[in-house]
Amino acid sequence: MSSDLAPRLESGYVEQTVARLEDRIRARFPDRRLGDAAHALRTAVPQIHEGFEASKSRRRRIRWGARAASGLIVLVVGSALVLALRDPVLHGTSSSDAWLSIIESTVNDLVFGSIAVYFLWALPERLERRTLLDLLHRLRSLAHVVDMHQLDKDPEQARPDYQPTSVSPARRIMDAEELHHYLDYCSELLSLVAKTAALCAERTSDPVVLGTVSEIEAVTAHMSQKIWQKISLLPEHP
């Protein structure tokens, strides 16, 4: 099958799913800040899509500018080498020290010219990598925010014989059904954080970006696994 026909993760569907999850969270837990985390993810999805679209023309301009500058550097270095070698080749030199100086200068010009061309040639990809890594850093931070929301949700709080201590959280204790919904929402939100990170991998083959996306997917999967362990310990509710 052609690669153009292969299914791809669409940002519009991810954004709609996050929006529905935010509405569900706010409807059931209007006084809790988990909805704010869902809203932060909801705003991040279109930023990734719009960032890709806006960076297309910018990367194209930078690429053409970098190619033009690389060609100019090659022309300047080549001209300098021709001027430096013309007289020794045509008229010769009186000593071997002069040739050593010419060879050293030629090697230096070629090395520094090659470094400059390599830097300019890779500049568009480097800028794109930096933009994507900034977005992925925000998503990684958001995953830890979601994990903090579920961290103090102990299944023991839903037991009928639960007795809070003097240092127990002062907030209203949720029953088993509410805890189940809350932890389930946290797990869904973490899954959508991973899907949002995967959007960054859809249009790039940069190994650093792909490695960061895989890291976020592994972190969110581990967090979600801990949440479902809590859900399995909840007492049964009517």
Q: Enumerate the domain spans of the chain.
A: 10-159+172-232
| DSSP annotation string for 194-237 | HHHHHHHHTT---HHHHHHHHHHHHHHHHHHHHHHHHHHTSPP-
pLDDT in tens, 84-140: 666 555 555 555 555 566 666 667 666 776 776 666 666 667 777 788 888 899 999
Q: How far apart are CA 55 and CA 74, in angstroms?
A: 28
Residue with tokens 């946290």: 186
- Provide the CB-side half-sphere exposure for 10 (13 A, CA): 6
pLDDT at site 32: 87
Q: How far apart are CA 195 and CA 17, in angstroms?
A: 11
Confidence bin at 1 (pLDDT 50/70/90): very low
Query: Does the model's pTM come out above 0.75?
Result: no
DSSP-H helix ranges across 5-94:
11-28, 34-91
pLDDT at site 54: 57
Tell which wins on pLDDT, 31 or 188. Answer: 188
The CA-atom distances, in angstroms, between 146 and each of 138, 141, 143, 229 are 12, 9, 5, 16
Say if CB 204 and CB 128 are below 8 A apart: yes
Rg (CA), the chain: 29
Say if CB 181 and CB 28 are below 8 A apart: yes
Which range is most confident: 44-53, 153-162, 228-237? 228-237
pLDDT at site 132: 83
Instruction: Return mean pLDDT, the chain.
Output: 78
Residue 211: Cβ-neighbour burial (10 angstroms; 0-12, 13-18, 19+): exposed
What average pLDDT score do residues 38-67 get? 73
CA 212-218-219 angle, 5° bins: 90
pLDDT in tens, 9-34: 788 888 899 999 999 999 999 888 89
Tell which wins on pLDDT, 109 or 225. Answer: 225
